[in-house]
Amino acid sequence: MRQTVLFFCSLAFLCGIPLSLRAEGFGPFPVRNFQALDQLVLGMPGERAAVLRKGGFDVRLELANTASIANDSTAQAQATMKFETLRTGLFLRYGLTDRVELGAEIPVLHRYSGFMEGAITGVENATTGLSPPRKALQHTGYAFNIAKGGQTLFQGSEGATGLGDVSLFGKYQFLKETSSLPAMSVRVAVKVPTGDTGEVFGSGHPDAGIGLALEKTVAAHWIVYANVNGVFPTRRIAGLGLQPVVSGLVAVEYLWTENLSFTAQFDYYSPPFHGTGTQVLDKGVTESVVGVSYRILPALLWQLYGVENLDFITGSAADFTLSTVLTYRFRS
């Protein structure tokens, strides 16, 4: 924690004194539900309401490393997971008009034993104590098996790498921000089943989603963002029935300078699965996110954030995610 505070303070010092005039924010972090099994369903990452100008083009590269751990055994189902997933996402956005933005994301996934266990174990021992799943699996290097009624539902091999499901996005900004009203946009998304189902990198079926994004500057330094989304999966995954998913976020961004901001964010995701008998699949996810955004160059933005599961709902969320994002904007 001390190193984190010193890191943020050093960045603030290097980037100058606080803002005296209003500047444009960078938006909420592009967080999605990084839980390995919920991620099989279309995710609508955090987005701001504002769209790119006509002819504008963004290229965003995100590296997100997620630690997953679970040890749940009931009369109906058994879930044992201990691994990390590196998700590399290439996200392209284009301003079709001054109100319409189109986008596409191409993810590549790599599952392995990971590198974050030592740090996570140290933090847990120093704070709340070692979590029951991590204590039960402390001598296990890698595990990934979900079974129901003696039949294996999900099983992924260590060292697997593959393409995930590609997502296509559209956003229409129907309301510009004013002194009294927030900016508002409607979002739509479609998932294309390009992922490897055998390695649990894809569902094998398309999904569709719709959402609403809002943002409002509430003071010279502060911007508030909100997203709410509904996702509609199709067919079944591993023989399990699916239900619509509701997700949402609220984020507050503090602009230290026009090139540096700090953001705190809360995310919620309802589960796509139901009635499986294991909380790993049946429960929703609540998470907190904190991070920093820094404009390295006028056209180059760097972001760093961490995602920590909360105890409002236990047993279902990924343990911890660390992500870094680079976005380059080609001006129209």
Interval 188-237: pLDDT, tens: 999 999 999 999 999 999 999 999 999 999 988 999 999 999 999 999 99
- Give the pLDDT of residue 254: 98
The ranges assigned to domains in the chain are 2-330
Interval 50-106: pLDDT, tens: 999 999 999 999 999 999 999 999 989 999 999 999 999 999 999 999 999 999 999
Q: What gap in Å lies between CA 313 and CA 13, rounded to an integer?
A: 38
Instruction: Identify the CATH class of 2-330.
Output: mainly beta
DSSP secondary structure string, 250-272?
EEEEEEEETTEEEEEEEEEE--S
How sure is the predictor about 20, in pLDDT bands with cuts at 50, 70 and 90?
very low
Query: Residue with structure tokens 């999900």?
Result: 154
Q: Which two tokens stand for residue 156?
A: 């992924």
Strands (E), 77-195: 77-95, 100-112, 143-148, 151-155, 161-163, 166-175, 183-192
24 has pLDDT over 90: no
120 has pLDDT over 50: yes
Q: What gap in Å lies between CA 252 and CA 176, rounded to an integer?
A: 19
Interval 246-283: pLDDT, tens: 999 999 999 999 999 999 999 999 999 999 999 999 99
